[in-house]
Amino acid sequence: MSLQASTHCVATHSGTAPDRQAVCVLGATGSIGESTLKVLALHPDRYRLHAVSGFSRLERLAEICQQFRPARVVVPTRKIDEFRRCLANRGLLGNDQPELLEGDAGLVSIAEDPTVQSVMAAIVGAAGLLPTLAAVRAGKRVLLANKESLVMAGSLFMQEVSRSGAVLLPVDSEHNAIFQCLPERYVAHGQARTQTGLERAKTLGVERILLTASGGPFRCTRAEDLHTVTPAQACKHPNWSMGQKISIDSATLMNKGLELIEACHLFDLPESAITVVVHPESIIHSLVQYSDGSTLAQLGNPDMCTPIAHALAWPERIAAGVSPLDLFQIGSLHFEIPDTTRFPCLSLARQAMQQGGSAPALANAANEIAVASFLKQQIGFMQIPQMIDAVLQAVEIVKPESIAHILEQDVRARTFAQHWLQKHKAP
């Protein structure tokens, strides 16, 4: 996907208006990264792109540099020379080149850059944890797409948010919807919290969160046929266009499991307060039920530019470039109970949240190995939950004391998952 050349260039490091918000996009070349750039390009008067990172799509990253002129760019250490050539091929030489930074240290540096006000955390998987946390610790406004970092680090992550005064805004469409449907006093930032989430919910009459799920591409596929589905079929999401990993997660319903854990931490609620509802049209992005019988929902066309624009501008609203909902065209909406027999990942994630401690981090790591193995056609689709289950059963669950401790648990889970893979992969 490439962006249309914009007539109004968002960000140049010369001649920037000082009151524009400086934005860092971690994972600018991905699906969420690209949608973020689209929204930024609509509002050159409000935002300037100060820093970006990419990983493998270097040509696209160079194109982004040419269009948006960020001051700082991060690529993996082994790609730095290749990327310099990509920039040179686009005429970006000498002073026209952005400052180039490398690897994990580079990601942390742009996430905590004092110039930056807002950080879009849109790296996929566990690789997003340290830079996202760096942005939190630096007290930024953090636009959270990288759900895996919250799944892994849960309470420690949220403690860092309270300590630093960072403003954490959910970008995941369901969590963004819940944020919009909860009372302002429930989600208020920058206030010392004396009550738990459950106590706040009781005071404000919040009864239950309904987390919607599209059901993915195999919602109607028979159990016996799921064993032989291909990565290409699994990546074909009916409603959303997303990166490969989250597309597979949506097909297994692990994405909803990760989102259940994400919601527990974001809104400080137990998993029992959250019900997953399959809603195939992906028009209602989630709902909150109240004690007076009201149910509030957030609706919109399935386009990530909406939650991104909401998080960027909150508490104001800006245009997202998304067409308004046409209810007459939609006609009807449907709801189903999720089938956890065909999609056991959802139950496994709920179980991991109930177990607590390092269990969600173990499940997340196992899932990352399982998805990568499925994409390489080393295991079948139904072996994804089997691998997660095996890791949760075999690897001891501990109470993580620090982020370093969580990263150790992540490595232990990956090591076990790799052993499991050697025993079970297709010959």
Instruction: Say if CB 37 and CB 63 are below 8 A apart.
Output: no
Minimum CB–partner distance for residue 65 and ligand NDP (Å) = 13
Among residues 36, 109, 132, 146, the one that binds ligand NDP under rule CB under 6 A: 146
* Conformational region of residue 69, where left means phi above 0, alpha means psi within -120 to 50, and beta covers everything else: left
Among residues 34, 148, 160, 172, the one that binds Mg ion under rule CB under 5 A: 172
* Residue 56 contacts which entry, ligand NDP, Mg ion, none (Cβ below 5-8 A, type-dependent): ligand NDP
Nearest CB to Mg ion, comparing residues 34 and 112: 34
* Residue 309 contacts which entry, ligand NDP, Mg ion, none (Cβ below 5-8 A, type-dependent): none
Gyration radius of the chain over CA positions: 21
**DSSP H/E element including 41:** helix 31-42
Instruction: Say if CB 1 and CB 89 are below 8 A apart.
Output: no
Among residues 22, 122, 209, 379, the one that binds ligand NDP under rule CB under 6 A: 122
Among residues 71, 116, 119, 127, the one that binds ligand NDP under rule CB under 6 A: 127
φ, ψ for residue 122 (rounded to 5)? -125, 30
* Closest to 211 in 3D by CA, of 157, 172, 160, 247: 172
- One symbol per residue from 362 to 401: x for binding ligand NDP (CB under 6 A), - otherwise; what is it? ----------------------------------------
Nearest CB to ligand NDP, comparing residues 56 and 233: 56
| Angle between helical axes of 403-424 and 359-375 (0-180°, round to 10) | 40
Nearest CB to ligand NDP, comparing residues 170 and 206: 170
What are residue 119's DSSP bridge partners? 24, 142
Distance CA 260, CA 269 (A): 10
DSSP-derived secondary structure for 280-341 = TT--EEEEEEETTS-EEEEE--S-THHHHHHHHHTTS----S-PPP-HHHH-----B---TT
Report 54-73 residues binding ligand NDP (CB under 6 A): 54-57
Distance CA 256, CA 250 (A): 7
- Examine residue 29 and tell whether it contacts ligand NDP (CB under 6 A): yes
Q: Which range in 2-10, 221-229, 239-247, 414-422 contacts ligand NDP by CB under 6 A?
A: 239-247
State how far Cα 248 lies from the chain centre: 14
- Examine residue 170 and tell whether it contacts ligand NDP (CB under 6 A): no
For the chain, the 3-state helix, strand and coil shares in percent, each to the nearest 5, are: 50, 15, 35
- Examine residue 268 and tell whether it contacts Mg ion (CB under 5 A): no
Q: Which range in 116-124, 152-160, 217-225, 363-371 contacts ligand NDP by CB under 6 A?
A: 116-124
- Examine residue 30 and tell whether it contacts ligand NDP (CB under 6 A): yes
What are residue 362's DSSP bridge partners? none
- One symbol per residue from 243 to 282: x for binding ligand NDP (CB under 6 A), - otherwise; what is it? xxxx------------------------------------
Give the position of tokens 């689709």.
381
Count of residues in contact with ligand NDP, rule CB under 6 A: 27
Among residues 13, 102, 240, 321, the one that binds ligand NDP under rule CB under 6 A: 240
Minimum CB–partner distance for residue 139 and ligand NDP (Å) = 22
DSSP 8-state secondary structure symbol assigned to residue 183: -
Distance CA 197, CA 187 (A): 10
3-class DSSP assignment, residue 3:
coil
Nearest to ligand NDP by Cβ — which residue? 30
The amino acid occupying position 135 is A
* Conformational region of residue 133, where left means phi above 0, alpha means psi within -120 to 50, and beta covers everything else: alpha
Among residues 49, 124, 248, 352, the one that binds ligand NDP under rule CB under 6 A: 124
Minimum CB–partner distance for residue 91 and ligand NDP (Å) = 21
The amino acid occupying position 422 is Q
Minimum CB–partner distance for residue 77 and ligand NDP (Å) = 11
Minimum CB–partner distance for residue 175 and Mg ion (Å) = 7
Minimum CB–partner distance for residue 112 and ligand NDP (Å) = 16
Q: Provide the pairing of β-strand 206-213 with 274-278.
A: parallel
Prior bond to 338 cis, omega within 30? no
Instruction: Say if CB 311 and CB 169 are below 8 A apart.
Output: yes
Nearest CB to Mg ion, comparing residues 41 and 253: 253
Minimum CB–partner distance for residue 113 and ligand NDP (Å) = 17
Among residues 24, 27, 119, 344, the one that binds ligand NDP under rule CB under 6 A: 27
Binding residues for Mg ion (CB under 5 A) = 172-174
Contacting residues toward ligand NDP, per CB under 6 A: 27-33, 54-57, 122-124, 127, 145-148, 172, 240, 242-246, 304
